[in-house]
A and B are shown apart, each in its own frame.
Chain A
Amino acid sequence: MSSETQKILTTDGIPLEVSLKKAERRNKIKAFLLVAPLLLFLIITYVFPIGDMLMRSVDDKMVTEMLPKTFKAMEKWDGKELPEEDVFKAFYLDFRQLVDEKREGKLSTQLNYTKNGFKSIIKKLRRKSKNFEEGNYKEQIMAVHKRWADVEYWKAIKRRAPAYTSQKYLKGMDMFKNENGEIVSVSEDRRIHRILWLRTLEIAFFVTLFCFLMAYPIAHLLATLPMKYSNLLMICVLLPFWTSLLVRTASWMILLQQQGVVNDFFVGIGLVADDARPEMMYNKTGTYVAMTQILLPFMVLPLYSVMKTISPSLMRAGKSLGGTPIVAFWKVYFPLTIPGIGAGCLLCFILAIGYYITPALVGGASGTLISNQIAFHMKSTLDWSFASAMGLMLLAGVLAIYWVYNKLVGIDNIKLG
């Protein structure tokens, strides 16, 4: 047929494709303008901050910029014996300039991150260096403190030469680069972050599981009850959702504390002795209970929206064909709710993995999560780059879960409503 090679023309002789594009351009522009505000908002509030976090977490320019001459001189140093005079001289010159600009304190903090013991010797060097004479800086600096004559400290300085570092990420996994540049784990008794990661995963997993077990019957009831009752039940589900997170967590504190309502009740019915009230708060139990309650609506709503679409005649069909109610449920109803289960679990798990307020208030020492550690570094140690690194690791973890879910169930199988 010739129509395949021949271009179709409109009545005016313009090629059809061109005409079509022209006709649709207006609509495309309109559509873009409609999404533009959101796009802009997302770029400003989401893409930029994450990019900034990424930069901050690997950024190590501060020391690089503070000691430019030193690092230049160190390029030729093999890092085995103590460096030569030229390195000492360069270091002295850099250091004098920092002292003039009153920035040597920052240097000491930064170097102390790399190796403990820099703080005091830098203070001492500042005092002594005022009276240094020209020439032979190596001798003079080494005379300030014996650590200045220790090659390990000079190696520590050299490690800070690159402008970018993966050190924060390694630290987040309780690992570090040793003097020889090998990645090793920290000693067993100092592996706090790994414990926190595992605990975060564990708590997120169990909270998701508890949410699922409790939400499934509720969602089913919501989807099958007559409108009059299901509306009421829906309000009961949503009411906590509308209450402030802090209020809800605080009310759990009132309920769960040792002199609290739940314990009083247990003592009252004789379940536990008055002097042996169990601790239900400031530990994992408190975190589980409060987080499950708080995340429950995130499981109920997707499940409900999926169950709502399942025709009741399907269960009836299953039964009329001879399936017992259990068989009909398991073979017919349950498989149809999987998209909702996937959406609910993913939502709950992702929210739980980064949860902050609740574990911070009711978690105690054994119930804190990685997010509390991030907040700690943001607010207390002010090690923002470390906090950023851990934040990004969390983000990567969430994306990994998403990816696994997509491989296992398929993301198009998700239904939020």
Chain B
Amino acid sequence: MNKEFVKFDKVDKSYDGKILVVKDLQLDIEEGEFVTMLGPSGSGKTTCLMMLAGFETPTHGEIYLDGKAISSIPPHKRGIGMVFQNYALFPHMTVYENLAFPLRVRKIPKDEADKKIDKALSMVSLQGFAQRMPGQLSGGQQQRVAVARSLVFDPQLVLMDEPLGALDKNLRESMQYEIKHIHESIGVTVVYVTHDQSEALTMSNRIAVFNDGKVQQLSSPDELYEKPVNSFVAEFIGENNTFAGEVSDISGGKCKVKLANAEILANPISVKGKGDKTTVSLRPERALINPSDKMDNVHNGKIEEVIYHGDHTRVRINLLGNSEFILKVPNSSSNLDIKLGNEIKIGWNSEDARALDPK
């Protein structure tokens, strides 16, 4: 497997010569991998995708595809499949003609093309829809056609630009699995752009979190969630409780963080020494009510809000001056005394409280 199937090498991009949309981007994508570019809007992720597809040129740096520099190759010669945000199905052509388009321009004989089209349509379970016009299909079906069209000419790389953005929640979730399964079954390399973190977490092998034109972190979904390297990633992926403070002591893989009126133990990630300002990040499910004695952080808090969520209950607590501290309590242990206004004990391991860069 080629470790550097797609390689962004020191890529800068500016549209107006004043602001860099993408800054010094360094990114390697392995062959057969499903990589998601995740980030808020305006973070440069779509620009990266467009540069890879050939619709934008890098202002500086070079992009390599399978070892070849591609900046000077026009889009139609790159052989990259692409799924667009609004599907971009050709409205004047039937589904069959849409799928036949990439095969026709490649001068593939008709019987072979028909086989490929059948295969692609069955892959997205749309057999029998070949003669429909895109306008006669539902959003989800159009989406499948777009996916089939991007795969029908057997590209090595497929780009997807927020393909599920226009679908409703249930459909989006089932399409996520479908795309994931297609990727697993044919082993094509996929670069996927989204701003939806749950989409990114469910589908990807690796996720590149973009912010401010830079990749903040590139790692597998679990690592991204469990071990964010900076407070942007911690904040952007999943839910997050934070304490802002100052490091008062650091030793033996632990650090003491002084808050406004208390002190907590944390895991030093991006703090170097005494006096560093920091934001401590803690996932809601890592804090427990009525903790065992083994936990090295135990504090008292007051319940401010209780929201029932079916499988779990969200509890908002005023803890150590943070009135937005969230706890997720599974709805199985009913013996807990969760009532509005109650004082409760909350504890967590210092390992899970990551002292990151200050916000």
Interface residues of A (CB under 8 A from B): 311, 313-314, 316-325, 327-328, 331-332, 335-336
Q: Chain A CB within 10 Å — which of B80, B85, B101, B149 has the most?
A: B101
In Å, the complex CA distance between A335 and B97 comes to 14
Option from B54, B85, B101 in Cβ contact (under 8 Å) with A321: B101
B81 surroundings in chain A (CB, below 8 A) = 320-321
A327 with B105: CB separation less than 8 A: yes
Contact code string B147-170 (vs A, CB < 8 Å = 1, else 0): 001100100000100000000000
A322 with B90: CB separation less than 8 A: no
In Å, the complex CA distance between A321 and B76 comes to 6
A313 with B105: CB separation less than 8 A: no
A313 with B86: CB separation less than 8 A: yes
A313 with B84: CB separation less than 8 A: yes
B54 surroundings in chain A (CB, below 8 A) = 319-320
A319 surroundings in chain B (CB, below 8 A) = 54-55, 74-76
Chain B proximity of A80: nearest CB distance (Å): 68
Interface residues of B (CB under 8 A from A): 53-55, 74-82, 84-86, 88-92, 101-102, 105-106, 149-150, 153, 159
Apart from A314-B88, A321-B102, A323-B101, what 7 extra A-B contacts exist at CB < 8 Å? A313-B84, A316-B82, A319-B75, A320-B78, A321-B82, A322-B105, A324-B76
B84 with A322: CB separation less than 8 A: no
Option from A322, A325, A328, A335 in Cβ contact (under 8 Å) with B106: A322
B153 with A322: CB separation less than 8 A: yes
Between A and B, 25 residue pairs with Cβ closer than 8 Å are A311-B86, A313-B85, A313-B86, A316-B53, A316-B55, A317-B84, A317-B88, A317-B89, A317-B90, A319-B54, A320-B75, A320-B78, A320-B82, A321-B101, A321-B102, A321-B149, A321-B153, A322-B77, A322-B105, A322-B153, A323-B101, A324-B76, A331-B101, A332-B90, A336-B91
In Å, the complex CA distance between A317 and B159 comes to 11
A316 with B88: CB separation less than 8 A: yes
Chain A proximity of B257: nearest CB distance (Å): 48
A321 surroundings in chain B (CB, below 8 A) = 76, 81-82, 101-102, 105, 149-150, 153
Chain A proximity of B142: nearest CB distance (Å): 13
B90 with A320: CB separation less than 8 A: no
Chain B proximity of A337: nearest CB distance (Å): 10
A311 with B88: CB separation less than 8 A: yes
Chain A proximity of B73: nearest CB distance (Å): 12
Chain A proximity of B312: nearest CB distance (Å): 40
B101 surroundings in chain A (CB, below 8 A) = 318, 321, 323, 331
A322 with B76: CB separation less than 8 A: yes
In Å, the complex CA distance between A324 and B86 comes to 22
B102 surroundings in chain A (CB, below 8 A) = 321-323
A320 with B80: CB separation less than 8 A: yes
Nearest A residue to B90 by beta-carbon distance? A332
A320 with B53: CB separation less than 8 A: yes
A323 with B90: CB separation less than 8 A: no
A317 with B82: CB separation less than 8 A: yes
In Å, the complex CA distance between A325 and B106 comes to 14
- A331-B101, A336-B91, A336-B92 given; A322·B86 CB < 8 A: no
In Å, the complex CA distance between A93 and B258 comes to 130
Chain B proximity of A211: nearest CB distance (Å): 24
B85 surroundings in chain A (CB, below 8 A) = 313
Chain B proximity of A162: nearest CB distance (Å): 55
A328 with B76: CB separation less than 8 A: yes
Nearest B residue to A310 by beta-carbon distance? B91
B153 surroundings in chain A (CB, below 8 A) = 321-322
In Å, the complex CA distance between A328 and B102 comes to 10
Nearest A residue to B99 by beta-carbon distance? A321
Question: Which 9 A/B pairs are nearest by Cβ-Cβ distance?
Answer: A321-B102, A317-B88, A313-B88, A320-B82, A319-B75, A313-B84, A322-B105, A319-B76, A323-B105
In Å, the complex CA distance between A323 and B74 comes to 11
B92 with A323: CB separation less than 8 A: no
In Å, the complex CA distance between A327 and B107 comes to 13
Nearest B residue to A336 by beta-carbon distance? B92
Chain A proximity of B197: nearest CB distance (Å): 24
In Å, the complex CA distance between A327 and B76 comes to 10
Nearest A residue to B149 by beta-carbon distance? A321
Chain B proximity of A335: nearest CB distance (Å): 5
B105 with A314: CB separation less than 8 A: no
Nearest B residue to A317 by beta-carbon distance? B88
B84 surroundings in chain A (CB, below 8 A) = 313, 316-317
A314 surroundings in chain B (CB, below 8 A) = 88, 90
Nearest B residue to A316 by beta-carbon distance? B55
Q: Chain B CB within 10 Å — which of A320, A322, A328 has the most?
A: A320
Nearest A residue to B76 by beta-carbon distance? A319
B88 surroundings in chain A (CB, below 8 A) = 311, 313-314, 316-317
B77 surroundings in chain A (CB, below 8 A) = 322
Chain A proximity of B52: nearest CB distance (Å): 11
A331 surroundings in chain B (CB, below 8 A) = 90, 101
In Å, the complex CA distance between A317 and B161 comes to 12
Chain A proximity of B76: nearest CB distance (Å): 5
In Å, the complex CA distance between A331 and B92 comes to 10
In Å, the complex CA distance between A327 and B74 comes to 14
In Å, the complex CA distance between A15 and B89 comes to 48
Chain A proximity of B246: nearest CB distance (Å): 48
B53 surroundings in chain A (CB, below 8 A) = 316, 320
In Å, the complex CA distance between A244 and B79 comes to 54
Nearest B residue to A334 by beta-carbon distance? B92
In Å, the complex CA distance between A92 and B176 comes to 101
In Å, the complex CA distance between A313 and B49 comes to 14
Nearest B residue to A332 by beta-carbon distance? B90
A322 surroundings in chain B (CB, below 8 A) = 76-77, 79, 102, 105-106, 153
B86 surroundings in chain A (CB, below 8 A) = 311, 313
- A313-B85, A316-B84 given; A325·B76 CB < 8 A: yes
In Å, the complex CA distance between A399 and B92 comes to 29
In Å, the complex CA distance between A332 and B76 comes to 14
A318 surroundings in chain B (CB, below 8 A) = 90, 101
In Å, the complex CA distance between A189 and B221 comes to 90
Nearest A residue to B85 by beta-carbon distance? A313
B105 surroundings in chain A (CB, below 8 A) = 321-324, 327
In Å, the complex CA distance between A311 and B85 comes to 11
In Å, the complex CA distance between A328 and B90 comes to 11
In Å, the complex CA distance between A325 and B79 comes to 14
In Å, the complex CA distance between A84 and B56 comes to 96
Chain A proximity of B158: nearest CB distance (Å): 10
A317 surroundings in chain B (CB, below 8 A) = 82, 84, 88-90
Chain A proximity of B218: nearest CB distance (Å): 25
Chain A proximity of B91: nearest CB distance (Å): 7
B74 surroundings in chain A (CB, below 8 A) = 319, 325
A332 surroundings in chain B (CB, below 8 A) = 90
Chain B proximity of A318: nearest CB distance (Å): 7
